[in-house]
Structure 1
């Protein structure tokens, strides 16, 4: 019996591979695994998953290691880029909150 590992995942885009039936990305499972967590420990961190889905993710990882290592690196670079952009150009909500905080401080000084 052959198991089609791709049946365990939703390939939403080049930057978004999710575990089928969940909003959990494969990067979430792999992050814990690469930090040394066992499959059972990963379940304690991601309790909506089961061992079958975790082992399918790990098997998929080892069958596509170079691709998924690049995928994880790309996601990390993208997150860092988004964070740096957020630091330089915060959202309008953050700007309004900062202004409100500054106004509150100046009112206390008066």
Structure 2
């Protein structure tokens, strides 16, 4: 096993997982602070879920306008398809 098979040594203080931009210090931080990182990620994902639900309940005016335009376009396409039959 060669370390070079798994890591890119970009500089003495910059070692990354091969094929990624993930530095070895990120992995070490996670391993030393696993509970805190997992709690942070859980909170972040839950927040994202809440925000998406809120956006669905109260979309911004631009979203409503785009939805209306899309529905109008689809209705026009359906009308043209029926006329050509």
- In the superposition, the TM-score normalised over structure 2's length comes to 0.60
Residues 2-17 of structure 1: pairs in structure 2 closer than 5 A? none
Is residue 55 of structure 2 the alignment partner of residue 82 of structure 1? no
The higher relative CO (CA closer than 8 Å, separation ≥ 6) is in: 1
Distance in structure 2 (CA, Å) of the matches to 1:57 and 1:96? 43
Q: Which has the larger radius of gyration?
A: 2
Q: CA deviation at 1:66?
A: 0.9
RMSD of equivalent CA atoms? 2.1
Aligned residue pairs, count: 63
Gaps of 5+ in 2: 1-16, 81-85
Distance in structure 1 (CA, Å) of the matches to 2:37 and 2:74? 49
Any runs of at least 4 consecutive aligned residues in structure 1 with deviations exceeding 6 A, and if so which? none
Residues 9-88 of structure 1: pairs in structure 2 closer than 5 A? 39-41=17-19, 43=20, 49=21, 54-88=23-57
